[in-house]
């Protein structure tokens, strides 16, 4: 566990200040401000193309803002655990499960250090936690979608990060796997880690995620999930045009 002063975990927070992110100068996230509080469990939802994944990538540090700021406290870039959408992850290359899970230790060991017995033990424990005991020597390409997602969660477990970013982690997996991964997310929340998760299932958000950001390029609502997902807010978000317009007006920032 990541520990701070007095043996307690450092709780990460993420502050957005007038944040604009764009593609070819056309905004995908437009002048958004707010804070993901330390130790919070927040879902980001909204229409297709509304900037949800773009925002998560910016928080992860894989893209730079056009304007505004992202301030992350108590989590260096190397201490952010980021799980992109499954379609963005190469699944079909000849790599074994255990070494992939152990790459979650790179922020502590460096990319070129060999896996020692202690690292192997951590990775094996993580595999057992996601119910993949006995899968260490399997090739990633032989795993089902649900098994592959469990392996990715094992990698997140060994990262032991104070800030965890998940982009549609339950897409194309079965209900049993989803339930087990939700148990892990709830455990992270109890450990005071800050978890931000892009989701589409509104009932799932209401049941499992206390906080919600409803995004439709701009912030429609942010706060208590049940209040955010009120009918009036959802109607406002649905007016967002799904298609990206090549001739749209550029953001003047």
Element containing residue 235 per DSSP (H, E)? helix 231-238
Q: Looking at the predicted structure, is the pLDDT value of residue 243 above 90?
A: no
Q: What is the rounded average pLDDT of the residues 44-71?
A: 93
Q: How far apart are the first and last CA of the chain?
A: 41
Residue 248 CA to residue 61 CA, distance in Å, equals: 26
Q: Looking at the predicted structure, is the pLDDT value of residue 90 above 80?
A: no
Domain 13-75+162-173+194-243, CATH class in plain words: alpha beta
Supply the Cα-derived Rg of the chain in whole angstroms: 19
- pLDDT at position 74: 85
Residue 217 CA to residue 251 CA, distance in Å, equals: 12
Q: How large a percentage of the chain has pLDDT more than 70? A: 84
- pLDDT at position 88: 61
Question: What residue ranges in 37-131 does DSSP mark as E strands?
Answer: 41-45, 67-73, 80-83
- pLDDT at position 75: 81
Q: Looking at the predicted structure, is the pLDDT value of residue 251 above 80?
A: no
Residues 163 and 142 sit within 8 Å (Cβ to Cβ):
no
Q: What angle do CA 245, 250, 251 make, to 5 degrees?
A: 120
- pLDDT at position 17: 97
Give residue 50's pLDDT band: very low, low, confident or very high (50, 70, 90): confident
Give residue 2's pLDDT band: very low, low, confident or very high (50, 70, 90): very low
Q: How large a percentage of the chain has pLDDT more than 90? A: 67
Domain residue spans in the chain?
13-75+162-173+194-243
Q: Between 107 and 234, whose confidence is greater? A: 234
Q: Looking at the predicted structure, is the pLDDT value of residue 144 above 80?
A: yes
């Amino acid at each position: 566990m990541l520990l701070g002063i007095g043996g307690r975990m450092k709780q990460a927070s993420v502050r957005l200040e007038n944040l604009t992110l764009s593609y070819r100068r056309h905004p995908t996230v437009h002048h958004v401000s707010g804070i993901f509080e330390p130790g919070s469990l927040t879902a980001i939802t909204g229409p297709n193309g509304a900037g949800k994944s773009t925002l998560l990538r910016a928080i992860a540090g894989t893209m730079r803002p056009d304007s505004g700021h992202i301030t992350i406290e108590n989590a260096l870039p190397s201490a952010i655990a980021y799980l992109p959408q499954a379609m963005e992850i190469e699944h079909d290359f000849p790599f074994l499960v255990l070494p992939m899970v152990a790459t979650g230790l790179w922020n502590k060991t460096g990319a070129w250090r060999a896996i020692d017995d202690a690292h192997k033990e951590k990775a094996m424990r993580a595999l057992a936690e996601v119910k993949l005991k006995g899968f260490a020597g399997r090739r990633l390409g032989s795993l089902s979608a649900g098994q592959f997602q469990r392996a990715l969660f094992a990698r997140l477990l060994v990262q032991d990060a104070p800030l965890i970013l998940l982009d549609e982690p339950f897409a194309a997996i079965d209900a049993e796997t989803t339930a087990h991964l939700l148990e892990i997310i709830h455990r992270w929340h109890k450990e005071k880690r800050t978890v931000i998760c892009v989701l589409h299932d509104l009932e799932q958000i209401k049941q499992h995620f206390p906080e919600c950001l409803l995004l439709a390029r701009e912030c429609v609502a942010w706060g208590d999930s049940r209040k955010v997902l009120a009918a009036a807010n959802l109607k406002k978000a649905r007016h967002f045009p799904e298609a990206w317009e090549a001739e749209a007006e550029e953001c003047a920032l």
